[in-house]
Amino acid sequence: MTRNELFGNILKKRSFLCVGLDSDINKIPPSLHKAEDPVFEFNKGIIDATADFVVACKPNIAFYESRGAGGWITLKKTVDYIKKNYPDIFLIADAKRGDIGNTSKLYARAFFENMDFDGVTVAPYMGEDSVTPFLEYPGKWVILLALTSNRGADDFQYHPGDENSLYKLVLNKSKSWADMENMMYVVGATRAEMLSDIREIVPHHFLLIPGIGAQGGSLDDVVDHGINSSCGLLVNSSRGIIFADNSQEYARAAKVKAHELQKQMEAHLDMRGLL
């Protein structure tokens, strides 16, 4: 999917919401456990209910991988289902991969050839040749970790007052590996106040923002500091949407939550004159 197509979908749906499929088999409604593939049924229910309100969808690969080969079958079915029924949804493999070049090439194959993801999250620790193999697929995106939402981000990525924080070095260096047509960055919503600094380095890139809801980030703060003239934001909510309700009504509850967020996002887009 191109950057223009993504922006077009944001305008069409009046939303920059990404729904995170952290589909923990131990947390899905008990009523689904009689299905042949309970997590796939759950994912279908969530996607069908929320598709009108989301522009992106982000399966967290650990939740599938932790179930072994069966989890990978569920993941593949989920990807195929979304691509077939909702081709305008930007599909992100939240995998945080990254290895030496010949190995990253195989991770790229896993997510871009064997499955039709539009983007994959990549960890930058190993540098340029661990990232560029993911950039060899036209229309596919690297979503590089910059400043993450968790407490441990303070260990290496960021030190208060340090102008040379690692996350800034990652942004500055990686800008030359790709451009805003195939690179995005992960910035945690819990670090919204730092989005202004980030926008000085990457004013036009899209940012994938996890961490609103369960992790404590605020949508208003993220938009205030991070929005740009092409929106430039994909804001993710996982648990807050998909586990809004644990009964057979889970999909309806997810729809309500996604619609609430879409309405807030529409107001922000409108206020900034983007609609």
List the structure tokens of 220: 């208003």
4-12, 43-51, 108-116, 196-204 -> range binding a copy of itself (CB under 8 A): 108-116
For a copy of itself, the closer CB: 9 or 74: 74
- Asked whether position 161 contacts a copy of itself by CB under 8 A, the answer is no
How do beta strands 17-21 and 207-209 pair?
unpaired
5 part of the interface to a copy of itself, by CB under 8 A = no
| Interaction of residue 83 with a copy of itself, rule CB under 8 A | no
**Contact call for residue 67 and a copy of itself (CB under 8 A):** yes
Sequence-separated (6 or more) residues with CB below 8 Å from residue 1: 90, 118, 139, 141
Rank residues 51 and 92 by Cβ distance to a copy of itself and give the closer one.
92
In the numeric block, the tokens 């008990």 are attached to 30
Instruction: Find the binding residues for a copy of itself in span 21-60 (CB under 8 A).
Output: 22, 24, 60
Q: Does 172 bind a copy of itself (CB under 8 A)?
A: no
CA atoms within 13 A on the CB side of 53: 24
Query: Which residues does 164 contact at the CB level (< 8 Å), separation at least 6?
Result: none
For a copy of itself, the binding residues (CB under 8 A) are 22, 24, 60, 62-63, 65-70, 72-73, 76, 94, 96-101, 103-104, 106-107, 109-110, 114-115, 123-131, 145, 148-157, 166, 169-170, 173, 215
